[in-house]
Structure 1
Amino acid sequence: MRPYDAFLLISFGGPEAVDDVIPFLENVTRGRGIPRERLAEVGEHYFLFDGVSPINQQCRDLLDAVRADFAAHGVDLPVYWGNRFWEPMLTDTVRQMAKDGVRRVVAMATSAYSNYSSHRAYLNDIAAAREAVGPDAPEIELIRPFFDHPGFIEPLAEHTRAALAELPEEHRAGARLLFSAHSIPTAMADASGAPEQHYGPGGAYVAQLTEVARLVAERVGGGHAYDLVYQSRSGPPSQPWLEPDVNDRLEELAAEGVEAVVVVPYGFVSDHMEVKYDLDHEARATARRLGVPFARALSPGTHPRFVAMVRELVAERAQGAPRTGLGTLPGCPEGADDCCLPR
């Protein structure tokens, strides 16, 4: 697996104790002028789970699976991990790689889609970490967004079928699929993707979400109706964000007499806090109040096909192989400096 001499997983990070919660949120919101009392409100989401976000352990589990998969297929690359907002911090990991003599790194972000927060922000953080470490910092190249890779689509379809099976048998055939992703400001969504490619309103992000929902629903089978919904909005009411919110759509579907729902967290690669709180806690409570049978599909996590995808993407990047994708949408060109820039 040359020309690379290391693999780096980059994730968001999350607290792992009650005392970590506010410092973590301060890291996430630094420079935005968010009042501490607002951070305390958001912190309540974490306090419900004893201050522990699942994301760090999920990264550890994925890294263990990737190491085993690399070893089984003769991929001789050491594996590193760095987070954007909590330990292990990305800058510290880049510094360690420099000490270890690593010179060229292939990196993967725990995000499948193209937008500022899920792609460009990772590129910016890589650049900042390298600058902080100095001239000995290794080169780091980020794997492309992998939204339509079979290793992402197939686990989502399998997990959706499993969630349908959790519903009462008499409601399965008529269940509605709700594909849920992180909401972002509409201006950010419109700017997502490469500037030479026109995606229309919502930019590459909405186009990719639409394509993935179609691809997964086709593989689930059964002719289920489905909707795209959003979660985890955090901006002021005056700022337009992508809609509908998953809870609002549940209200509408209940009024329409929908039989049951399966929520598919296809905007995420693991069942971290936003899945646990926004879907398992809030959306499930909404469905329960409305009397709508509810099931939630698992994210890809450490599904063997998803783990194999990591190796395949590394090989694709290292060997210049054709881009693997199930859909028809173009992806951001590799190394595009202006991809997902705010405009």
Structure 2
Amino acid sequence: MSDTTQDSGVMVGSTAPPSPDDGLSRAELAAKYGLTVSGARPSLPAYVRQLWSRRHFILAFSRAKLTAQYSQAKLGQLWQVATPLLNALVYFFIFGLLLGARRGIDKDIYVPFLVTGVFVFAFTQSSVQAGVRAISGNLGLVRALHFPRASLPISFSLQQLQQLLYSMLVLVVILLATGCYPSLSWLLVVPALVLQFTFNTGLALIFARLGAKTPDLAQLMPFVMRTWMYASGVMFSLPAMLADKDVPGWVTDVLQWNPAAVYMDLIRFGFIDGYGSEYLPPHVWAVALGWAVVVGALGFVYFWKAEERYGRG
């Protein structure tokens, strides 16, 4: 009997010829054929290039999310303006009228002072809270498509920037109604918003990575953001409120130099005629630039470091 039998055209018992790849490790095989690991994290420069190539997707996604935000409401996009305005009215009634938080601020500028603070802080607050859910709330998209995951928190920050610009229309009306007319100082608002957007995006990237690993963080963030709001002088002047308190001077400095307070002060300084440099902490522009560069860069690198793990169980 032959050593070789044939069944359905398949030769059984034959010996396959040796492969030229026998004995090569997986790394050597990958190098030989130019293969890469599926889902591997790209280098940082390559990651930046990928993000730039997806810039149209990032912008379109942010616009779509903004449009869909109030799509079920009868007033639709009017809530983009009404929501921050109603928040400002509530804070004015509680803090401005009932609690007398106007101390240290000229009564003629308290309304624009308050409204500016509410709108500007809401920009940071919403960016952070959206960033926490950027990955965990979009797992279907993350698992179905291949794209740089940083696109999501960046697009959410852009969405909140667009929301702020709608709110600014209301703010301009309030400024005009209270006697604050356009001047060259209004141009200072542009670099202040650019710095705040950079800071917010870095913070959103940080919390997007944390939220991807710990989804319960989203439930904690409203309490954290509320505490931050009260410590940032949204409704009152920090130096005036702490002037008669027995607290060290460095406490006041730390509160004034916290990024939320810094960006609010810069935008108030640009918009409000009676809000002069005496209300600002020293070196405020340098501090604002430092917060934006440090948090923006660190947040981007921190998020990129876990790129290959997003969307995996």
TM-score (norm 2): 0.29
TM-score (norm 1): 0.27
Kindly name which structure, 1 or 2, has the bigger radius of gyration based on alpha carbons.
Answer: 2
Q: When you count strand as a share of all residues, which structure comes out higher?
A: 1
